[in-house]
Amino acid sequence: MAQTGIKDIVIVGGGTAGWMSAAFLSRIFNSEGSASPMRITLIESPDIRTVGVGEATIPPIIFFNQILGVNEADFMRRTQGSIKLGIDFVGWQREGHRYIHPFGAFGAPINGVSFHAYWLRARQAGLKADISDYSLSAQAAYKGKFRLPNNDPRSGVPNVNYAYHFDANLYAQFLRGFAEARGVRRLEGTIKTAELDPHDGTISHLVLTDGSELKGDLFIDCTGFRSLLLGQTMGVNFQDWSHYLPCNRAVATTDERVGPPPPYTRATAKKAGWIWRIPLQHRTGTGYVFNDAEISEDEAAHTLVQSLEGRSLVDPWFLRFTAGRRRVARVKNCVAIGLSLGFLEPLESTTIHLIQHGLIKLAATFPIAKIDETSAKLYNEIMVAEVEQVRDFVMAHYVLNERKGEALWDYVRHMDIPDSLKFKFDLFRERGLAIYPDQTVFREENWVAIMLGQGLMPKAYDPVANTLDGARMKQHLDYMRRVCAETSDQMPTLDEFLRKYCPAPFVAPPSPQKA
């Protein structure tokens, strides 16, 4: 690390964000052959429990694990992991309606034109097939099937995109072992204050309740909703987005697995919010995200318990949150990772993604000194854009609902929305275009899935799709639909895959967590 003056990194807080940070930074700076290993210390308090609701992920997690170099099967065994091919949305457009947001593309482009443009053209000519018929991930998900991708381009076999369901607490433990093996020092203690350097305003050191001090060059804030360093010490204001995302509470539990685990997360709309179901190998994580102005804690807990498919394994516990983000993610020598930066409800499983995105972009803009305004400005612009992109995507599910006569759903359907989201709706409504600026995590295929799934049918389609002969277009669509059906039929069930690839011993579910 000859090009940076940063020699000591202090990570404040454990849990998923803390240990992902420790594992990633130790992999970047302290791998075998490193010229000048970084001193990395993680401090966590035994009195503060982590928020462990983020058990569902999206495909970028595979890239993160590949950076670390972890063995996938071992990781899945040790975290009770299972496979996720998308999210099943039940009742979001209206009661009784269902659609899936699958990972991966629909069909394949023809002559450089997006597949869904041809599907829209065919629909206008009378085609009845749903867009999900042309997604291998969607077909495999609904059939309960999965197999690992075949990366040999000569095979001619289409692949699915996938992510994971896992126990976030076990993932943190797994990463702790990884990080400590690469020299990360763990301290157990409670922080009394964070002291600033009187000359430049950087964080100088932490004072613990036992009187000891912990110095560092760069401080990573993984203290969750408290945002102890970025929010409280550095004074970065919080931008409240509850007018866009009004759900502010969740009640969660764990129930017994009943039947084979499906390869998807399920999100079921309810009058005051929605219920998630995240199937692991031996249990299912279930929770109700709700607005406390529309329902009491007792009613929310009752609704949750009534939704369980198996026997509850722990008493339900409650979480309180406010949707929004800190104005910036990095100030001087302080960087917020995870909930200390902000929170967007877990509808599209982006909590862990925003942690890893923050870490990867931190490495790409790593400071050369305690104060590095150039890289800090770039980092903040990247993180603000990413969080706002996720915000728009989550909001789209709510805004496009048709659940009339329910206060929460009526409000979000008619609320004012950011210009960035209105622009996306207008483009898709008028011409079926979903090629939007700043597409990093959610791209064209993701927006197409949500727009069509929520019932926003474009008035027209990309006119370039008219350049293909109608018979050839039908031939291509028929072929893609047949390939998705036949390939998914030939896959083993997810249960069979898990038993052969990564069978996990039963692990008792975690105790209720405190927010």
Percent of the chain with pLDDT over 90: 90
Interatomic CA distance for residues 78 and 81, integer angstroms: 7
Interatomic CA distance for residues 11 and 220, integer angstroms: 5
Interatomic CA distance for residues 39 and 43, integer angstroms: 13
Token representation of residue 196: 């600033």
The DSSP symbol for 166 reads: -
Q: Which residues are CB-contacts of 124 (< 8 A; sequence separation ≥ 6)?
A: 461
pTM for this one? 0.95
Give residue 78's pLDDT. Answer: 96
Which residue from 238, 280, 246, 190 is spatially nearest to 416, judged by alpha carbons?
Answer: 246
- Mean pLDDT over all residues of the chain? 94
Q: Judge contact between 44 and 179, C-beta under 8 A.
A: no
Give the residue extent of every domain in the chain.
8-55+167-240+326-388, 102-160+390-497, 249-320
Residue pLDDT, tens place only, 399-408: 999 999 999 9
Give residue 514's pLDDT. Answer: 43
| Cross-strand partners of 335 | 220, 330
Interatomic CA distance for residues 443 and 312, integer angstroms: 37
Which residue from 496, 466, 511, 437 is spatially nearest to 111, judged by alpha carbons?
Answer: 466
Please identify which residue in the block is written with the tokens 């990633």.
24
Which residue from 311, 303, 306 is spatially nearest to 284, judged by alpha carbons?
Answer: 311
The DSSP symbol for 292 reads: T
- Please give the biggest Cα pair distance in the chain: 78
Residue 307 host element (H or E): helix 297-307
Instruction: Determine the 3-state secondary structure of 479 from DSSP.
Output: helix
What is the amino acid identity at position 234? M
The DSSP symbol for 233 reads: I
| Residues in the chain with pLDDT values less than 70 | 1-3, 33-35, 48-54, 510-515
Interatomic CA distance for residues 185 and 335, integer angstroms: 19
Q: Which residues are CB-contacts of 29 (< 8 A; sequence separation ≥ 6)?
A: 1, 37, 38, 40
Catalytic residues: 84
Give residue 148's pLDDT. Answer: 96
Beta strands in 178-263 (DSSP E): 185-188, 191-196, 203-208, 213-215, 218-221, 238-240, 249-256
> How many residues make up the chain in this entry?
515
Strand duo 39-44 + 8-12: pairing:
parallel
Which residue from 315, 271, 263, 314 is spatially nearest to 296, judged by alpha carbons?
Answer: 271
Characterize 146-181 residue by residue with b for buried, 16 or more Cβ atoms within 10 angstroms of its Cβ, and e for exposed.
bbeeeeeeeeeebebbbbbbbbbbbbbebbbebbbe
Which CATH code fits 8-55+167-240+326-388?
A: 3.50.50.60
Which CATH code fits 249-320?
A: 3.30.9.100
